[in-house]
């Protein structure tokens, strides 16, 4: 069994590299690993107790060949499973259901809001999944298999994968809340430039997570409501719990965005108050020195060589002219509604 946990983004020449992992579940908490050759000999898988799970690398060469050939999936399902861009959704077909759900990206050196996608096909007798980047939820299933707690039905496997993707959102959202708590405490003392950058980063991350987690809830809820005979009532209740958990995460993300906006408003208010205080101090200083400047300006007038310099009332005329000019400026500013 091939297990390339971090496959390259370019297509591989070896078609068998498309297989990340495959298991045959016997329906009794046990599972047996399958090879690439076993998949092509699997057939319809109706004559054996249990069901298979086939987990493929989306960009590998053999994935498209297997989906459109040996798997027998409809062409529209194959294209949806291999599409470069997609949104979380659940789509019902006559043959089965295709589910596209997202999870937070917990791979090293990657952004958590750059969500990872898992696409599933389930028709009640098999589960086929496709991914591009490593998913911790798949590791959870592997660990359950190792401990002999493998899923017993296709519906249970789908629920385990969906819940594994969902539960990891909680730690990321909790970290987001803690960062906002720190910013609320630091708003009094932190430098405004640094604080604004942190607020922008948090709001951007919350928006990115909210963008896909919200549709995730709709996809799971659609799966709960679809009338498929291979999903028992207990399975629907577990899926409903997953949908409720996603709803809570969406509400927490909305709350985080609102809290970040409140902190940003408080920061803007604080900066405005600081600016007003500085402006007031400068205004007081200007008011103190304005008469002194006017007095020194009048006493320092250079009237030598201008007409009327010998007239006894020349200085008084200049003073009166300045007063008139001041009233004209006041009237003009008043008319323009600048004051």
∠ CA 11-154-52, rounded to 5°? 55
The confidence score (pLDDT) of residue 193 equals 62
User: What's the length of the chain?
Assistant: 339
What's the confidence (pLDDT) of residue 130? Answer: 92
Give the closest residue to 36 by CA, choosing from 58, 11, 66, 16.
16
Predicted pLDDT at 203:
84
- Among 48, 19, 29, smallest CA distance to 146 is for 29
pLDDT digits (tens, 9 = 90+) for 15-48: 667 889 899 998 888 888 988 888 877 755 556 7
> Which positions of the chain have pLDDT values less than 70?
1-16, 43-47, 108-114, 188-193, 298, 301-309
Q: Do 61 and 15 form a contact (C-beta atoms < 8 A)?
A: yes
First to last CA, the chain: 81
Alpha carbons 98 and 163: distance in angstroms, whole number:
17
27 torsion bin: left (phi>0), alpha (psi -120 to 50), beta (else): left
pLDDT in tens, 90-145: 988 888 899 998 888 777 666 666 678 899 999 888 899 998 888 888 888 888 88
Question: Is the pTM here over 0.85, yes or no?
Answer: no
For 58-110, give the DSSP string.
Answer: TTSHHHHHHHHTTT---HHHHHHHH-SS---EEEE-SS-EEEEEEE---STTS
**pLDDT of amino acid 127:** 92
């Amino acid at each position: 069994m091939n297990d390339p946990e971090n496959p390259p983004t370019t297509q591989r020449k070896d078609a068998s590299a498309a297989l990340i992992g495959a298991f045959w579940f016997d329906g009794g908490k046990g599972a047996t690993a399958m090879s690439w050759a076993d998949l092509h000999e699997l057939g319809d898988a109706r004559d054996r107790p249990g069901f298979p799970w086939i987990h493929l690398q989306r960009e590998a060469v053999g994935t498209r060949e297997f989906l459109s050939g040996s798997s027998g999936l409809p062409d529209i399902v194959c294209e949806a499973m291999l599409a470069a861009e997609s949104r979380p959704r659940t789509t019902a077909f006559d043959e089965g259901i295709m589910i596209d759900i997202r999870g937070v990206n917990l791979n090293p050196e990657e952004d958590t809001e750059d969500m990872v996608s898992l696409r599933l096909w389930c028709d009640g007798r098999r589960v086929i999944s496709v991914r591009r980047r490593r998913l911790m939820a798949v590791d959870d299933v592997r660990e359950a298999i190792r401990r002999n707690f493998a899923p017993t039905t296709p519906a249970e496997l789908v629920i385990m994968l969906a819940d594994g993707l969902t539960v990891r959102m909680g730690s990321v959202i909790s970290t987001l809340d803690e960062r906002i708590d720190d910013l609320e405490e630091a708003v009094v003392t932190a430098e405004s430039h640094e604080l604004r950058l942190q607020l922008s980063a948090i709001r951007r991350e919350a928006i990115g997570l909210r963008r896909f987690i919200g549709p995730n809830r709709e996809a799971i809820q659609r799966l709960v409501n679809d009338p498929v005979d291979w999903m028992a009532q207990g399975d629907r209740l577990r899926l409903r719990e997953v949908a409720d958990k996603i709803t809570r995460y969406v509400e927490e993300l909305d709350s985080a965005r609102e809290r970040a906006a409140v902190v940003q408003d408080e920061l803007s208010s604080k900066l405005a108050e600081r600016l007003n205080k500085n402006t007031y101090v400068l205004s007081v200083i200007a008011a103190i020195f304005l008469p002194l400047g006017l007095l020194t300006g009048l006493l320092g007038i250079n009237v030598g060589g201008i007409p009327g310099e010998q007239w006894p009332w020349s200085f008084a005329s200049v003073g009166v002219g300045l007063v008139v000019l001041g009233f004209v400026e006041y009237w003009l500013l008043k008319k323009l509604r600048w004051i």
